[in-house]
Structures are given as structure tokens and as C-alpha cells.
Copies of this chain bind each other. A is one copy, B any other.
Amino acid sequence: MVPAGKEEKDAGGFRTLLETSPGQAARYLDGVHAADRAQWLRDVGAEDAWRVFGELTTESQAELIEYADDDLRAVLIARMSAGDLRGVLDELPSDEAADLLGEADTRVAEDVLAAIDSETAQELRELAAHEPDTAGGIMATEFVTVGPEERVGDAVKAIRKQGDDAEEELAVFVVDEEGKPLGFLPDRVLLSQPIHTPVLEAMVEPITVGVAQDQEEAARLVEKYGLLSLGVVDEGGSLIGVISADDAAEVLAEEAEEDLLRMAGASVESLHGRATVLRRVRNRLPLMGITVLSGLLSAKILRWFLETPGEGAGTSDILRYLPLIIGLAGNVGVQSSTILVRAIAMGELEGPRQRAMLRSETLVGVVIGFICGLLLAGVVSLLEPGQLGLAVGIATAAAILCAALMGTSVPVLCTRMGIDPAIVAGPFLICLSDVSGSVLFVAVAKALIQA
């Protein structure tokens, strides 16, 4: 992967230099791809990342922001002054610039918008005004247009006129006098056609979407037709923006992740480790709430069916709460394992992040177990006689903790043993957590009630 003759650089070398001097560490990044720089910085912690970032040129800073994951972006953007932001903004395409301003502190963003030229500021405000999940929310406003009477050579000249920006893969559209797209000119067509060919002969059919259309629908069009650039048009049909294949792929990947995690009742934030433990607990509580309600309902219905002679809590009273406890433990196990399986598949779990993620996922399990246990101890004590409430509460907390530990450790162990964690983590884990939940509950109940 490194051209012959070049010295191999790695994250370890970078970290060693960082201990002595951020300046030397920043210079070590010369010639390292921005994608690698972003990954190395992500892994060294907020303060060190910010120190190195400050030593980079504005251009390198902008590149780094483009490749940084949400974690690192948040760390850097939160610390950037209006002056820093303004410099980086100049180097970014419009869609990235608008995103950057949206993530910055509102007051800092306003300072930046007041300081830059009013046309650019207006454009950025307009971009930010589109709903984030529409075509308008993800489009860039940079593109090149040529008239229908022009030739391939004119289109090439129009690209060269953009100077440095030309390298940014600006899409070239043929538009009529009202700015309505008539055709699209792929770079390869411009390269392979003689320069005197009329653009009307060289162009391919343009595919466009309305600016208010859902971002996922727009991205699916890019995928379906194998497009390099999708045109975004306003209500009058005039071209106002472009969605690149890269942007579309990112949207589709995000939506797929979201679906996966939502189905497990977790959130996308958990996957990238950017949410705090408390935030992640809060994200998952709604699902736990539904499970608690349906578990209590089960217990109630079962009691109605299986009325037992009422002196104290009997064996079948204990068993009526089994679905509740198994359900809660299963939820937590599936959430943790889903998050870990995806994090492993996406290479997010390499290096120092692995221990941090295992720790925080387990902590989330402890907190959820504690909350659910306490809640159920109270509620069940009101509904049932004797020590049953206490037994349900303790068993719930224990079963949830156990499921969280298995949900985090099984995928990691599978990966180390060379087994695909996706196959084992889902089904196998649910069974493991069902059995352990049953045993824990009944053991606790017996100890408390029939002791």
C-alpha cells in the first residue's frame, strides 16, 4: 500500500512523537492520507487531537474535517474559533461547509457568517434552511453548466476555469436558458470525445430529483441508475444543486445502520460511541418501558388463567414473571450484541477504542439493570403479596447485567476465535440469555420466598 522507497508511517510512530511534541507529530503527518490522519487523531483523545490540529495548515485542517468521523468532528468543531472556522470553510465544498456551520456553536457560526462575503453567507444560509433529510439537505451547490450550443472543448474549458476547485469532481450539466438540465456530461465522455463534438451529441440523459424529496429516495436513484451525479432541481425545474455518488452511498449506509439499530431498540449514536452512557441509557429506556408493560400484562393474564389458592407466593406466581425477566434481559443482550457486531464489521473496534466501548456498553447494562430492577421491585410489590416483588427486582437486575456482559463479550470472543459474530451473536445470545435469566430468577425467588 506504500509506494516503494517511501518510509512506512503508522499510528504508533505518531503517538510516540506526540508524547514529546505536537508540532513534530503534526509534521509526521506530512504525506499521510487524510483518512489515516483522521483515524490516528480520533484515537489519541480530545486534547491531543486539538493540539495537533492547531499545527496543521488550513487546507490540511479542512481535509481532516472532511474525513473525520462524528466523534472527532465534534471534538474539533467545539474548540474552533470563528477565525479557525472561516479559514476551513473556504476550503470546503458548500454541502460540507453548511454541515460544519450547523455543527458549530450558534454564536460562533453567526460570527463567521457575518465575516465572510455576503453572497457565500447567503448561499450557506439557504443550504442550511433545507430540511436535513431531503435532497436539498445533502446537495452541494457547486457544479459546472454549459449551454446547448456549446461543444465538448467548451465544457473542458469551463472545468479548467474553476482552477483548483476543478479537482473536486464538479459535475458538468448541459442546461437551457432557464437553467433546466438537458443532459449530463461524464468526465469520461469529455475525455474520449473529440473537442469539436457538440455537447448535445455527447451528453447522456440527466436524472434529477426535486429539492424537497426525501434523501433516501434520492440516494436510491443514484444507486439504481449507477449515477455519478444526481441533479437537484427547484420547483421550476432549474438545476440548483448536485448529489454525488459518494454522498448517496453515505446516506444509504447510514439509513441501513439506523434500521438495524432501531430494530434492536438502540440508536445510531451508540454505535459510534459518541453518546454518553446516560444518553444511551435514555435512548433505550422507551423499549424497556414497552417490555415492562407487556411483561406485567403477561403476568396479569397468566394469573387470571391460573388462579392459585392464595396463601403467599407459590411456585406458579414466581413463574408468571418469567416472560418479563426473559424479555428485558433479551432486549439488553440483543442491543449490546447488535452494536458490537456492527462496530466490529465497520472496523470501529480497533485499537484503544475496543476497551472503551466494552466498558461503556457494560456500564449501560448496569444502569439499565439497576433502573429496571428498582422499578419492578416497587411495582410488583404493590401487585403481589410477600417477597415476590423483591425477588423480581433483584432477578431483573441480575439477568440484565448478565445479558449485557454476554452481549458485549460474545461478539468479541467470536471475532478472536475467527467465527462470524453476526451468526452467533443474535440467535445464540438470545438462548443464552433466556436460560440464564430463567435460572437467575428462580434461584433468587426460591432463596427469598421459600427460605
A residues whose Cβ falls under 8 Å from a Cβ of B: 1, 3-4, 33, 35, 67, 156, 159-160, 162, 166-167, 169, 180, 182, 186-192, 205-209, 216, 220, 223-226, 245-246, 249, 252-253, 255-260, 262-265, 287, 290-291, 293-295, 297-298, 301-302, 305-306, 308, 314-316, 318-320, 322-323, 326-327, 330-331, 337-338, 341-342, 345-347, 420, 422-423, 425-428, 430-432, 434-435, 438-439, 442-443, 446
Contact = CB atoms under 8 A, between A and B. Distances in A.
Contacts of A430: 291, 327, 330-331
Contact of A166 (B67, B192, B223): B192
A249 B1 CA distance: 20
Contacts of A253: 252-253, 256
Contact of A318 (B255, B291, B306, B347): B306
A442 to B, nearest CB: 4
Contacts of A314: 316
A191 B191 CA distance: 7
B262 A226 contact: no
A287 B427 contact: yes
Contact of A422 (B182, B187, B188, B259): B259
Contacts of A434: 294-295, 298, 323, 327
Contact of A291 (B33, B159, B431): B431
A167 B255 CA distance: 32
A205 B33 contact: yes
A145 B189 CA distance: 19
A305 to B, nearest CB: 4
Contacts of A256: 253, 256-257, 260, 345
Which of A255, A260, A326, A330 has the largest count of B CB atoms less than 10 A from its CB? A260
A385 to B, nearest CB: 17
Given A187-B191, A256-B345, A259-B342, 15 more contacts: A4-B180, A33-B225, A160-B191, A167-B186, A169-B188, A245-B249, A255-B345, A258-B422, A263-B341, A291-B427, A293-B431, A301-B435, A306-B319, A319-B320, A323-B323
B259 A345 contact: yes
A320 B443 CA distance: 14
A256 B338 CA distance: 12
B188 A331 contact: no
A35 to B, nearest CB: 5
A258 B306 CA distance: 43
23 contacts: A3-B205, A4-B180, A67-B226, A156-B191, A166-B191, A167-B192, A190-B191, A253-B256, A256-B256, A259-B341, A262-B426, A264-B426, A264-B427, A290-B427, A293-B431, A294-B432, A301-B438, A301-B439, A305-B442, A306-B442, A319-B320, A319-B322, A323-B434
A226 B291 contact: no
A431 B294 contact: yes
A298 B435 contact: yes
Contacts of A346: 220
Contacts of A443: 305
A282 to B, nearest CB: 15
A293 to B, nearest CB: 8
Contact of A208 (B1, B224, B294): B1
